[in-house]
Structure 1
Amino acid sequence: MPNPEGSFIWYELMTPDPDSSKAFYDAVVGWTIEAQSSAPGGAIDYRMITRADGGNVGGILKLDQAMQDHGARPMWLGYLYAEDVDARVAAIGADGGKVLMPPHDAPGIGRFAMVTDPVGVPFYLMNPTPPEGREDAASDVFSVDQPQHIRWNELSTTDPDGMIDFYTRHFGWNQEGEMDMGPLGKYCFLQHAGVGIGAVMPKMPQQPISAWT
Structure 2
Amino acid sequence: MRPIDLARGHGLSTQAVRNYEEAGLLPPAERTGSGYRRYAERHALALAAFLALVPAHGHPTASAIMVAVNGDRLDDALDLIDRSHVGLVSARGVVDAVETALNDITVQPWDGPPIPISTLAHRTGSRPATLRRWEQEGLLRPGRDHQGHRAYTAGDVRDAHLVSQLRRASHRLPDIRLLLDELRDTHDPTRVAHALADRRRALNTRARAMLTAAAALDRYLDGPERTGHMA
TM-score higher than 0.5: no
TM-score normalised over the length of structure 1: 0.19
Greater per-residue strand proportion: 1
Q: Which has the larger radius of gyration?
A: 2
TM normalised by structure 2 equals 0.18
Structure having greater relative contact order (Cα 8 Å, sep ≥ 6): 2
